[in-house]
A and B are shown apart, each in its own frame.
Chain A
Amino acid sequence: MNELLKVPTMAEYMAQGKQPEVLFWVGCSGSFDDRAKKITKAFVKILNQAKVDFAVLGTEESCTGDPAKRAGNEFLFQMQAVTNIEVLNAYEVKKIVTACPHCFNTIKNEYPQLGGQYEVMHHTQFLKSLLEEGKLTIAGGQYKGKRITFHDPCYLGRANNVYEAPRDLIRKLEAELVEMKNCKSKGLCCGAGGAQMFKDAEKGDKEVNVERTEQAIEVKPDIIAAGCPFCNTMMTDGVKAKDKEAEVDVMDIAELIANAQDL
């Protein structure tokens, strides 16, 4: 199946003297993390299926600097940002889509002041726009009638007020969307943001991801849907900690759509 994946790079496009409609910013997690790579591939399958004219930076991509900035290393962040912006501007990138809300937030909000002006979309927004343009159809498939709860990533939801795009996609799967006690603007963090992903948590009674997973399990879902590779990891760990792997899957929305279409 993998041979079917078409993943052109910006360099290849440039060599042909062409410019893709959109740049897919894969992100560090989507490039290196085994679980997140599946999300990346699922999203690419959808892009291929919908015949989207896209490219990736590949080896020219680098960390956006989000975890460095939030850990307080503004210097490292700006070094990363300026380098990335130089690459993006050299390719005259106009539109970016990413499956990582942290990359989304950083490129959308923090790059413009440093000279990087792009139209940035989260992959759920992009998929919704494909749907609206008729380039993509979503049918329920294996998820028809399943109970799905959506965990709002902080950097998509509260940080940028994107709540509806992922939910609209879940509804299109003909699934039953159930909301947790804390959802949308009151969503509870998965515990990974603000560079927490890369360190142990401070002393407390509980891990944040366990608390959040308990809230999810409370609504008895078949699937916990996520829209962020970090949330995905945290919720997967939470489900393991609660010994619920047999009953509950943690899936990215791109994976749900790709699976439903048997891509």
Chain B
Amino acid sequence: MSIIPNILFAIILIAGIGYFTLNVKKLVRNIKLGRDVDVSDNTPIRWKNMTRIALGQSKMVKRPIAGFLHIIVYVGFVIINIEVLEIIIDGLFGTHRIFSGLGTLYGVLIGTFEVLALLVFVSVTLFWIRRNIIKLQRFWKSEMKGWPKADGNIILYFEMVLMALFLVMNATDVHFQDMQNGNVISQFIAPLFNNFSQATLHIIERSAWWLHIIGILVFLNYLYFSKHLHILLAFPNTYYGKVKPKGELDNLESVTKEVMMMMDPNADPFATPPENESAEEEIVKFGASDVQDLNWVQLLNAYTCTECGRCTSECPANQTGKKLSPRKIMMDTRDRLEEVGKNIDANKGVLNDDGKQLLGDYITTEELWACTSCNACVEACPVSIDPLSIIIDMRRYLVMEQSAAPAELNNMMTNIENNGAPWPYNQMDRLNWKDE
């Protein structure tokens, strides 16, 4: 018996996993380009959120049809992957269906996989129909042209082909069909191959087997380049997701320092800072104009976004025809981060100024100013992404670094500064209503 296929298998397996590992390292490096943020608090709540939202898919079912189909694909995909273990052992050691010795249990397992494979195939087909024939509005927004649209479909084709290969592999496996055990779906496909010779059947079975495992490895490596990355990142993302009330915006510590100094009558603003501090303290930018100004959780958010568009379809600004789309904010952040990452790779680990940034080159001020901070996007996201935090950080940059707020907002802020109210009324008149 030749061991060439086994060696070939080992090479493909190592190459597949190796390249994936390489990309995961790049992913982690890119995410770490963000500012540090302390997320070590509320551990029990974070575990609960991850279990409920990512593992339990609790937010997916808010839209029952998509939610139900998604759960089938999710459960199916996870469980069918147990089969990969058998494939890997068979591939490495030249065995055939090593677990078939389990007898009835094997039948139950493979039978379950077959049913799931069929259900996944049907669900994925329905997803494809929703995207391409029914043309659900949220999949046809302006940010969904080109690659995002193709990516969505490629993932569906991948899953259709992988499921079909699994069933064909079982249907053409004479040995397996003879066992009459577990072939609950494939027995109905088998008759299609009735007139085929043993040799042809064997070739088809082997081809399906090889294509199935190679397909899985290719799909694994496709993840990094695709929105499908959410199948991995949904877990850390829901863990690190916001645990504070949605209405609570973070407190800029750098600003607090300045404010406290201004309010402190004993502080001398012209004093030279103590030796040990001054060297460490770099000048902090207020707000964010590029990806490195965002924190790493926001960057993780960007990689986790699967472009489902639930945020955008709930966004009041988007619903009334404004340019803002929370999904686009996330996609832009990811695109820019990838661009920065590639720049770093090309320049041996350092970022060469490319004259571009997230603000302006990707996200326009018109989008940022259209946000009502209503948190509909945050509520809608099935994987705890917070587009609002990015919008606010970019507004902070516009206002505090560039003084580039719309004129009316500048008026409002001047009024607060001078009168303690957003309107030009005197603070001394605050209680006049009592006697009116």
Which residues of chain A are near B376, meaning CB under 8 Å? 154, 158, 186, 188-189
Q: Which of A88-96, A128-136, A206-214, A254-262 contacts B (4 or more CB under 8 A)?
A: A206-214
Q: Is A239 an interface residue (CB 8 A)?
A: no
Which residues of chain A are near B322, meaning CB under 8 Å? 201-204
The reply to whether B399 and A72 contact each other, CB–CB distance below 8 Å, is: yes
A residues contacting B by CB (< 8 A) are 2, 5, 7, 9, 26, 28, 30-33, 37, 40-41, 56, 58-59, 61-63, 65, 67-76, 78-80, 82-83, 105, 108-110, 113-114, 154-155, 158-161, 185-186, 188-189, 191-208, 210-212
Q: Is the interface of B mostly helix, strand, loop or mixed?
A: helix
List 20 additional contacts besides A73-B396, A207-B320; criterion CB under 8 Å. A2-B436, A28-B423, A32-B421, A59-B429, A59-B431, A61-B430, A65-B416, A71-B399, A75-B255, A80-B416, A110-B248, A154-B374, A159-B246, A160-B246, A195-B409, A199-B409, A200-B408, A201-B322, A203-B321, A211-B319
In the complex, which of the residues B409, B417, B430 contacts A31, with contact meaning CB atoms closer than 8 Å? B430
| Chain A proximity of B52: nearest CB distance (Å) | 15
**Contacts A31-B433, A114-B256 known; A189 to B374 CB distance under 8 Å?**
yes
Q: Which of B8-16, B128-136, B363-371 contacts A (4 or more CB under 8 A)?
A: B363-371
Chain B: how many interface residues by the 8 Å CB criterion? 69
Q: Report the nearest B residue to A73, measured CB to CB.
A: B399
Q: CB-CB contacts of B320-355 with A at 8 A, as 1s and 0s?
A: 111110000000000000000000000000000000
Which residues of chain A are near B371, meaning CB under 8 Å? 194
The reply to whether A71 and B408 contact each other, CB–CB distance below 8 Å, is: no
| Chain B proximity of A73: nearest CB distance (Å) | 5
**Contacts A61-B430, A62-B420 known; A206 to B245 CB distance under 8 Å?**
no
The reply to whether B434 and A193 contact each other, CB–CB distance below 8 Å, is: no
Q: Is B375 an interface residue (CB 8 A)?
A: yes
**Contacts A72-B287, A204-B321, A211-B316 known; A28 to B399 CB distance under 8 Å?**
no
- Expressed in whole angstroms, the Cα–Cα distance for A18 and B366 within the complex equals 51
Q: 29 pairs across A/B with beta carbons < 8 Å?
A: A7-B434, A56-B431, A62-B421, A65-B416, A67-B416, A68-B412, A72-B400, A76-B417, A78-B252, A83-B263, A110-B248, A154-B373, A158-B246, A158-B374, A158-B375, A158-B378, A159-B247, A159-B375, A189-B374, A193-B374, A194-B372, A198-B409, A198-B411, A199-B409, A200-B408, A202-B369, A205-B320, A208-B316, A211-B316
| Chain B proximity of A262: nearest CB distance (Å) | 21
The reply to whether B428 and A78 contact each other, CB–CB distance below 8 Å, is: no
Which residues of chain A are near B259, meaning CB under 8 Å? 75, 78-79, 82
Which residues of chain B are near A78, meaning CB under 8 Å? 251-252, 255-256, 259
Q: Report the nearest B residue to A159, measured CB to CB.
A: B247
